[in-house]
Amino acid sequence: MNTTLSGIETWSLLTLSAACVGIIINTFHGDGEPLIASLAFSGLAFALTFSLIRWLGAVFMKANLKGRDMSKVKKTEIPETMGAVCAVVYLLTIIIFIPFPFYKDIVAATSGGGNKEVVIERQSVETGRILHRFPHNKLASYLSAILSLQSVVLLGIGDDLFDIRWRHKLFIPALASIPMLVVYFVDYGVTNVVVPVQLEQYLGKMVNLGWLYYAYMAAIAIFCPNSINILAGINGIEVSQSMIIGCLLLANDALSLYAAPSSPTPHPATDPHLFSMYLLLPFMGVSIALWWHNWYPAKVFVGDTYCYFAGMVFAIVGILGHFSKTLLLLLVPQIFNFIYSAPQLFRLIPCPRHRLPRFNARTGLLEPSVTQWQQPPSKLVALLMNLLAKFPLPLVEVEKNSEGEIVESTNLTILNLWLVWFGPKREDRLAIELLVMQALCGILGLFVRHELALWVFRQDNRE
Ligand code: UD1
Ligand code: MG
């Protein structure tokens, strides 16, 4: 891999960075204009990630952070775990960004310049009247997001280094989400869910889920990172799917902000959506830089670090932004892939270390990959598999021996399913088709959320 930046790249990145720094300095003339500043920081994060990925490729290879590109004629080794670069740049960016959304509050609380000692009179500090104007709860939310993300990034890097066991991996995001859930409990604490109009006569308008709601949020924190990691295995698919989800969430924020009625006191839904944008914009910045190097033919792999990191960003904005149901609506392909994978994930049927599509070196195309069954399955499993294989659009292809026992079946991922349905494809073609499908599903999800929600719910609560 090329480890230096070309002349054009260097100049473009320098120009972009200079423009972003200029914009950031400029925002101080007004109210800090956090959204503009966030955009500029995202530009800087992009430039830094882009350069670091280039410069660090060889260093990563030397540290044995590398992987073989299995779907190529020449299965060359390329740097892996490049998501760690994204995650680190991202964390630094959102840490440096902390003063910006709170700039106005800092000024208001300290009546100028952010210098507490000089301006505030002793008495007001003692009574605490003035500092109470500062939105400590929002800062706590933001800090808890950083803490949860950091824990998950640690898990990701650990997994890339040591290949952690599946059952251990599963629970770490749940523990990582504790800071966030505590803030949710103290700050917001709503565990009621609105009941669809059609069910109101049975359940009432609201149902209080109590602690179950916290279990549900922890489950989202487990699901998001893992679901991205298992919809993987062809060049560019991990980053591209994450970027699509990121764009959809940003569109959802923009729609919600746009639709929020303008009143002197901001609509309660305004703040969470801004919060979500502050976290998503830099995420897009670092992801685009990685995508550039990971798209077919890949020059680097993203590693599990990226998948966990991306998934956790979504879980955090969904939970702290109070729109976890909308988030699930935008993850329909990932949810389908997870449910579809479940028989292999929970070992009802054999699961090999890798389930990515099989590369046919003769045709240069990808074909569905298969798993050999060491022993014939139980009657129930065999019945189920035969049923799935008989659908007009088969959900699995099976191979039987002369006794009619299943000896081999296609791996249960949507990448393979797509190939079963539409035939062998080139790697980039497969990625593009799946991504178009995902984008369409997501746009439909947004439509359902913003246009059709009133059919089911009494009012659009913009949560
Ligand atoms: C998950 C999947 C596994 C899939 C793998 C591919 C489950 C339970 N696990 O495992 O089935 O095979 O991701 O990422 O569904 N690779 C390529 N081309 C790519 C991306 C990856 O060849 O575009 C290969 C490389 O050899 C790379 C390796 O996959 O080194 C990375 O696999 P890893 O992320 O460690 O696999 P898991 O996340 O454990
Ligand atoms: Mg992986």
H or E segment and range at residue 194 = strand 192-194
Closest CA to 279 of 85, 454, 141: 141
Taking the centre of ligand 2 as the mean of its atom positions, its distance from the CA of residue 198, in whole angstroms, is 41
What's the CA gap between 461 and 321, in Å, rounded? 13
Closest CA to 177 of 328, 329, 312, 279: 312
Radius of gyration of the chain from its Cα atoms, rounded to whole angstroms: 24
- Count the neighbouring beta carbons within 10 Å of the beta carbon of residue 239: 28
User: For 143-164, b where at least 16 C-beta lie within 10 A, e where not — what string?
Assistant: ebbbebbbbbbebbbbbbbeeb
What's the CA gap between 433 and 430, in Å, rounded? 5
Q: Pairing mode, if any, of strands 406-410 and 398-400?
A: antiparallel
Q: Which atom of ligand 1 lies at the shortest distance from residue 354's CA?
A: 12
Q: Which atom of ligand 1 lies at the shortest distance from residue 341's CA?
A: 15
- Mutational test site, ligand 1, from 340, 354, 414, max ligand atoms within 8 Å of CB: 354
pLDDT of 267 = 47
Taking the centre of ligand 2 as the mean of its atom positions, its distance from the CA of residue 62, in whole angstroms, is 20
Domain definitions of the chain by residue range:
7-112+135-330+432-456, 358-425
pLDDT of 243 = 98
pTM assigned to the model:
0.92
Q: Which atom of ligand 1 lies at the shortest distance from residue 69's CA?
A: 22
pLDDT of 21 = 97
Q: In this structure, which long-range contacts are made by residues 101-105, counting pairs with CB atoms below 8 Å and at least 24 apart in sequence? A: 101/32, 101/34, 101/138, 101/142, 101/274, 101/275, 101/278, 102/134, 102/135, 102/138, 102/139, 103/28, 103/31, 103/32, 103/34, 104/31, 104/32, 105/133, 105/134, 105/135
User: 333's torsion region: left (phi>0), alpha (psi -120 to 50) or beta?
Assistant: alpha
Quickly list DSSP for 444-461. HHHHIIIIIHHHHSSS--
- Mutational test site, ligand 1, from 223, 227, 356, max ligand atoms within 8 Å of CB: 356
* Ligand 1 interacting residues, C-beta cut-off 6 A: 67-71, 80, 229-230, 232-235, 298, 301, 304, 341, 345, 354-356
pLDDT of 169 = 80
Is 429 within 8 Å of 421 (Cβ atoms)?
no
Helices and strands: H and E segment counts in the chain: 20, 9
Peptide bond preceding 179 in cis form (omega within 30 of 0): no
- Count the neighbouring beta carbons within 10 Å of the beta carbon of residue 371: 16
Taking the centre of ligand 2 as the mean of its atom positions, its distance from the CA of residue 339, in whole angstroms, is 18
Q: Which atom of ligand 1 lies at the shortest distance from residue 160's CA?
A: 35
User: 112's torsion region: left (phi>0), alpha (psi -120 to 50) or beta?
Assistant: left
Is 49 within 8 Å of 285 (Cβ atoms)?
yes
- Count the neighbouring beta carbons within 10 Å of the beta carbon of residue 50: 24
Is 94 within 8 Å of 282 (Cβ atoms)?
yes
Taking the centre of ligand 1 as the mean of its atom positions, its distance from the CA of residue 239, in whole angstroms, is 13
Q: Compute the half-sphere exposure of residue 318: CA atoms within 13 Å on the CB side of its CA.
A: 27
Q: What is the pLDDT along the chain (463 residues), one digit of tens a residue?
A: 778 899 999 999 999 999 999 999 998 777 768 999 999 999 999 999 999 999 999 999 999 999 999 999 999 999 999 999 999 999 999 999 999 988 877 777 766 554 545 444 544 555 554 556 678 888 999 999 999 999 999 989 999 998 888 777 877 888 899 999 999 898 888 888 888 888 888 888 888 888 999 999 999 999 999 999 999 999 999 999 999 999 999 999 999 888 765 555 554 545 889 999 999 999 999 999 999 999 999 999 999 999 999 999 999 999 999 899 999 999 999 999 999 999 999 888 999 999 999 999 999 999 999 999 888 888 888 999 999 999 989 999 999 989 888 999 999 999 999 999 999 999 999 999 999 999 999 999 999 988 887 777 766 554 4
If you ran DSSP here, which 8-state letter would residue 365 be given?
Answer: E
Closest CA to 290 of 226, 331, 241, 334: 241
Closest CA to 325 of 196, 423, 436, 153: 196
Q: Pairing mode, if any, of strands 370-372 and 406-410?
A: antiparallel
Taking the centre of ligand 1 as the mean of its atom positions, its distance from the CA of residue 360, in whole angstroms, is 18
Q: Which atom of ligand 1 lies at the shortest distance from residue 71's CA?
A: 22
Tokens for 290, please give them: 């990685």
pLDDT of 462 = 45
Residue with tokens 């949810």: 335
